[in-house]
Structures are given as structure tokens and as C-alpha cells.
A and B are shown apart, each in its own frame.
Chain A
Amino acid sequence: DVKVTQSSRYLVKRTGEKVFLECVQDMDHENMFWYRQDPGLGLRLIYFSYDVKMKEKGDIPEGYSVSREKKERFSLILESASTNQTSMYLCASTGIYSPLHFGNGTRLTVT
């Protein structure tokens, strides 16, 4: 089974802090994604990556950056956390012609 692991299940950070959310997958998938999930808005794509060191902006990239130095790891960075970034963050990966496989989410609270 594909395993996508997010490093933290819950995080509480202060406004202005730099925040790192880590995601690791073990199936050699080319594509990795970061989504934000908010009630009534579904999943919104922040960034995705289709290869090492490659990244593409999704629908809501403002305030976020990403890093993919190794194929199995995709990091989401909040350069200066703000309260409107309080949300659930979901990482996912996929290979060719395969569905998305998700981690079990990080609930981030920015105070």
C-alpha cells in the first residue's frame, strides 16, 4: 500500500513564525501536491510538483512556498504565518494513471 506521511497531525504556531509542513511518500510517485481544506470550500490546491526541484502554483499559492529536493519529500513553507492560514493541510501523491493518495492531514492553528 502507498503510504503518504505528514510529519505533524496538529500544529500551533504564532503569527509571523516560519512554518514547515513535511510530507513523505514511499511509492516513488512523480507528482506531489499540497491542498488546503476549509469547510464549505472543499480542497484547494496550493502547489504541486511533478519532479524533483520542479514546482507549479496551484489556485491559492499566496503566502506559501514549497521545496522538493528529493523525489519522496515535498515540503510546504509558510514564510510568515498569519491567522488566515489556520486550516487543514493535506499532502497527496500520485503516479501515472493512478489516483491521489493522501496523508492524514495537518491541522494548523495560527494564533
Chain B
Amino acid sequence: AQTVTQSQPEMSVQEAETVTLSCTYDTSENNYYLFWYKQPPSRQMILVIRQEAYKQQNATENRFSVNFQKAAKSFSLKISDSQLGDTAMYFCAFTTITGNQFYFGTGTSLTVIP
């Protein structure tokens, strides 16, 4: 069975600082995809970043980057130069290659403090 664990229910960061959100997962698959989703107070789930397991290079999307450690089954999200609009719930998610099952962590609530 696949599981996704986010061990930080809440975090806060000063505006313009850097913060890292942790995620670990468990799977016996060798090829899969990992995602970070953001859910602001508007409730719309927004894809932040995506990583293919077969790619060794860490994905980057503007101020968002990941540290993907396949052997350790770790997938952390780094937010640089935090902005007030980054305040949201962040979910780590995993899917197999077939893409018909997605597994989510319990989320990390991030608050950016002015």
C-alpha cells in the first residue's frame, strides 16, 4: 500500500524568508509521480510542483523547489522569498504511473507572517 506522511501540521515563516515543508512516502513502485498542491483560503487546490521519480534532477518552479531523495522516499518543498500569498494548506501527493490512484498527506498549514 502507498502512504504519504506530512509530519508538520502547522508552520510559520517570516515574509521574504525561506521555509521547507517535509513529506515522506512509502511505495514498492519504482516509477511514480510526486506533487505538491497548495490550497489557499479560497479552497481551490492548485498544483505547485511535480516530480517524476525517474528524473534525478529536482524540479523547480520559480520560488518553489523540491528536494527529492528517492532512496529515502523523501520529497520536501522549499519556498524561497516567502510571500503573504503563500499562506495556505500544502498537500504532498503521490501517484503511480497509471495515474488512477492518488494518495495525499494530511497537509501542512503554512502561515506567512508580515
Contacts and interface: CB of A to CB of B under 8 A. Distances in A.
Interface string B93-114: 1010101111011110000000
A42 B99 contact: no
Interface string B43-63: 111010010000000000000
Contacts, number: 53
B25 interface: no
A35 to B, nearest CB: 8
B35 A48 contact: no
A96 B91 contact: no
Interface of A is mostly: strand
A80 to B, nearest CB: 26
Contact of A99 (B6, B43, B50, B101): B50
13 contacts: A31-B100, A33-B102, A40-B9, A42-B104, A92-B102, A94-B99, A97-B97, A99-B47, A100-B45, A101-B47, A102-B37, A102-B44, A107-B43
Interface of B: 6, 9, 33, 35, 37, 42-45, 47, 50, 91, 93, 95, 97, 99-102, 104-107
Interface of A: 31, 33, 35, 40-43, 45, 48, 50, 88, 90, 92, 94-102, 104-105, 107
